[in-house]
Amino acid sequence: MRELSAQYPRYGYRFIAIFLARAGMAMNPKRVYRLWRKALLTVPRKRPRKRVATSRLRPLAPTGPNEV
């Protein structure tokens, strides 16, 4: 389970359970979750996207020729 979670860091215990079942180690989902928590495995949090600063004033649009 640790090897699979290291190989696929964005997959949680449910996907890992599918991989284990394909490898012939089918388990109850509750058991997979219990072992997942006991091994202290987690899915890393996604970073928040950068937002455009709303407090910053936008530059004024040109009003005449040759202002840019």
Q: Containing H/E element for 2?
A: helix 2-7
Write out pLDDT tens, residues 5-36: 999 999 999 999 999 999 999 999 999 999 99
CA pair distance 59, 55, nearest whole angstrom = 13
Contacting residues for 30 by C-beta, under 8 A, at least 6 apart: none
> What pLDDT, on a 0 to 100 scale, did the predictor assign at position 50?
84
> What pLDDT, on a 0 to 100 scale, did the predictor assign at position 66?
86
CA pair distance 3, 7, nearest whole angstrom = 6
pTM of full prediction above 0.75? no
Domains of the chain: which residue ranges?
Answer: 2-38
Write out pLDDT tens, residues 39-63: 999 988 888 888 877 777 778 888 8
Distances (CA, A) of 5 to 15, 24, 32, 34, 35: 9, 17, 13, 15, 12
CA of residue 52 relative to chain centroid, distance: 22
